[in-house]
């Protein structure tokens, strides 16, 4: 399989949609839609020149040290027109490393302060949904402290922060509430 060409279908501030023309294993020309956070030149450089693929975002699996609880957020998400349980997360700003992004996003979304990253459990690059997007993230395990606050939220963020005990985490998994798959996996690991 080989990608032959990439064209822009839609270009917005945070997300782009591309058409990738490729040849399948039978030699037939096909098209695939790709959602990406990368601009066209970065994407072409990645596909055709084998340039290094930088991560787009961080997903934060934080344990509050004083409470010994998992940090979870419940956030309104436009694509599902509902609230969903998630982990704190955010895009990496230009020039930032993932540690700086973790510190900034944890504070912004929860009001909590980063103490330490557990690099032995952290995965510095993982893909989110490869059938649809090239988005990659750092899945960061860390500890935090402080008090929950909504003071740092951006106007488009409607977030409720929760510190879950293992029992509360078990109940959330049993519920019919909307839950992001990354949060589900982190909660399952937390309650083991």
| 57-191 topology per CATH | Nucleoside Triphosphate Pyrophosphohydrolase (3.90.79)
pLDDT digits (tens, 9 = 90+) for 52-67: 989 999 999 999 999 9
Neighbours of 100 (CB within 10 A): 14
Q: Where along the chain do the CATH 3.90.79.10 domains lie? A: 57-191
Burial class (CB in 10 A: 0-12, 13-18, 19+), 176: exposed
> What tokens were used for 79?
């694509």
pLDDT digits (tens, 9 = 90+) for 142-192: 999 999 999 999 999 999 999 999 999 999 999 999 999 999 999 999 999
The whole-model pTM stands at: 0.93
pLDDT digits (tens, 9 = 90+) for 20-43: 999 999 999 999 999 999 999 999
């Amino acid at each position: 399989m080989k990608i032959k060409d990439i064209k822009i279908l839609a270009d917005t501030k945070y997300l782009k949609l591309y058409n990738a023309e490729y040849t399948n294993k039978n030699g037939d020309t096909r098209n695939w839609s790709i959602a990406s956070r990368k601009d066209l030149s970065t994407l072409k450089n990645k596909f055709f020149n084998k340039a290094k693929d930088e991560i787009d975002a961080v997903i934060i699996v934080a344990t509050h040290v004083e409470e010994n609880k998992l940090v979870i957020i419940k956030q309104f998400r436009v694509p599902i027109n509902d609230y969903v349980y998630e982990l704190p997360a955010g895009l990496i700003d230009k020039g930032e490393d993932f540690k700086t992004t973790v510190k900034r996003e944890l504070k912004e979304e929860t009001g909590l302060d980063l103490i330490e990253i557990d690099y032995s459990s952290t995965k510095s690059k993982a893909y989110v949904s490869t059938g649809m997007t090239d988005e990659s993230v750092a899945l960061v395990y860390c500890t935090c402290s402080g008090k929950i606050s909504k003071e740092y939220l951006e106007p488009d963020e409607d977030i409720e922060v929760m510190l879950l005990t293992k029992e509360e985490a078990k109940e959330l998994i049993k519920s019919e509430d909307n839950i992001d798959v990354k949060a589900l996996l982190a909660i399952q690991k937390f309650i083991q």
